[in-house]
């Protein structure tokens, strides 16, 4: 049997050894937690970069197939693609941050059809981009344009819905002069 002094000495030795051991274990745990969080953050950044790269690629393809593409935010303001609109509408004006509806013919029925088209497409989540014939304003009069819409939820990490419109000018129809 051990003497009480030997037991106390063993307990002190254990406490004095266990404190640095506990600190080392805590530091190791903190380092591992930070590595796991950093890895998750890096993976999330890579997914965002991949998504942005994919959108950029699709937009370049659209520009080859269509006459222009435009990216609208959740308020339907033009975020990107105003150079395509300039080409379609033969207009030098900057369309950045403008409401897309302001470019449509100022006809209540036309505006309502566009609003329904955007909301139905957003809710439906269709596999093929639906198309709507729009009448847009240009310096030479009204212009027929086919608009293909794809909803892009959480683009750029936003809470709102973005909208990508591919626009194809009607080559059969010339600008209709205003009456």
Mean pLDDT of the chain: 79
- Tens of pLDDT, residue by residue over 57-82, are 776 777 778 888 888 999 999 988 77
Measured CA to CA, the distance from residue 88 to residue 149 in angstroms comes to 17
State how beta strands 161-169 and 68-72 pair: antiparallel
Q: Who contacts 72 (Cβ-Cβ below 8 Å, separation ≥6)?
A: 78, 79, 100, 162, 163, 164, 165
Domain residue limits, the chain: 1-64, 66-179
State the pLDDT confidence band at 17, using cuts at 50, 70 and 90: low
CA distances from 168 to 22, 150, 153 (A): 68, 15, 24
Q: What is the pLDDT of residues 21-63, one digit of tens each?
A: 777 777 888 887 887 778 777 777 777 777 677 777 776 777 7
Q: Residue 17 CB: number of other CB atoms within 10 A?
A: 10
**pLDDT > 70? residue 16:** no
pLDDT digits (tens, 9 = 90+) for 95-113: 889 999 999 988 899 999 9
Locate all alpha helices (DSSP H) within 1-156, ordered by sequence. Answer: 4-65, 82-89, 108-124
Length of the chain: 179
Choose which CATH entry (3.30.70.420, 3.10.270.10, 3.30.450.20, 3.10.520.10) describes domain 66-179.
3.30.450.20
């Amino acid at each position: 049997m051990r003497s009480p002094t030997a037991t106390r000495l063993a307990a002190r030795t254990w406490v004095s050894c266990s404190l640095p051991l506990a600190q080392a274990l805590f530091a190791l745990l903190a380092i591992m937690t930070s590595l796991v969080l950093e890895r998750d953050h890096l993976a999330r950044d890579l997914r965002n970069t991949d998504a942005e790269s994919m959108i950029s690629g699709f937009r370049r393809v659209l520009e080859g197939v269509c006459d222009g593409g435009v990216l609208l935010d959740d308020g339907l303001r033009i975020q990107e693609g105003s150079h395509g609109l300039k080409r379609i509408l033969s207009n030098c004006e900057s369309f950045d941050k403008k409401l897309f509806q302001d470019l449509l013919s100022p006809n209540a029925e036309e505006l309502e059809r566009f609003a329904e088209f955007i909301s139905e497409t957003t809710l439906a989540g269709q596999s093929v981009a639906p198309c709507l014939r729009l009448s847009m304003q240009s310096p030479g009069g009204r212009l027929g344009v086919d608009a293909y819409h794809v909803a892009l939820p959480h683009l750029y990490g936003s809470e709102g819905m973005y909208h990508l419109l591919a626009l194809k000018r009607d080559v059969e129809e010339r600008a209709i002069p205003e009456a």
